[in-house]
Amino acid sequence: MGKLRDLVVKFSGLSIGTHHFEFALNDRFFEQLEDSLIRSGDVKVMMTLEKKSTHLELSFTLGGEVGETCDRCAVDYRQSIEGEFRMFVKFGDAFEEVDDELMTVPHGTYELDVSQMVYEFIGLSIPLRKVPCETTGDTSVCDRAVLDRISEPLTDNESHSPFKAILGNLKDRMN
């Protein structure tokens, strides 16, 4: 992923101490990311950078909405998200992601592109199960035709699909 200039933080000229940054992300942010699973969104990100003599401590608070698709009926909807995350950045010989909260950047680095971090934090804020009517109780957003279809019993043709027959043969051979 190339640098997204809006999310590049130049820390070399900052004094030791705490500094605050704010990013307003919209559909353009997600469109610029290669292979982004998130298609759209409006997310506000507050970042606190605490510069110390040996490392940086980054704290992120984010909130907003992203475009998602319901896991049950495939209707598009807006998913509310929020989250808080931390990242520690130390200086070393080369760039390395040590773990989920620690990365090393080469000595002499003067700026940090936080776009990938922010994108990953947004992804971590999205619930694993995306069925909006379960959380809101509002079924008016559901695609009724799809829900009716998945609640119908299988027909004889569907219950005797070729895939089921193939799996049955494999199972018989293994026994």
Query: pLDDT digits over 76-113, tens only?
Result: 999 999 999 999 999 999 988 889 899 999 999 999 99
Q: Is residue 153 part of a domain?
A: no
**CA distances (Å), 82 to each of 31, 117, 124, 137, in order?**
21, 15, 10, 20
In the predicted structure, residue 158 carries a pLDDT above the cut 70: no
- Alpha-carbon distance of 124 to 55, in angstroms, equals 25
What is the pLDDT at residue 144? 79
Per-residue DSSP letters for 78-121?
Answer: EEEEEEEEEEEEEEESS-EEEETTEEEEETT--EEE-HHHHHHH
Average pLDDT of the chain? 87
Better pLDDT: 36 or 162: 36
In the predicted structure, residue 1 carries a pLDDT above the cut 60: no
In the predicted structure, residue 123 carries a pLDDT above the cut 80: yes
Q: Is residue 151 part of a domain?
A: no
Q: Is residue 172 part of a domain?
A: no
Q: Is residue 154 part of a domain?
A: no
What is the pLDDT at residue 2? 46
What is the pLDDT at residue 17? 96
Q: Is residue 173 part of a domain?
A: no
Strands 41-51 and 76-92: unpaired
- Alpha-carbon distance of 120 to 124, in angstroms, equals 6
Query: Which tens digit of pLDDT belongs to each residue from 134-157?
Result: 877 777 778 878 877 777 776 665
Q: Is residue 107 part of a domain?
A: yes
Q: Is residue 142 part of a domain?
A: no
Q: Give residue 76's domain range.
A: 5-136
Q: Is residue 77 part of a domain?
A: yes
Give me the number of domains the chain comprises. Answer: 1
3-state helix, strand, coil in the chain (%, to 5): 30, 40, 30
Taking residues 69-75, what's their average pLDDT? 89
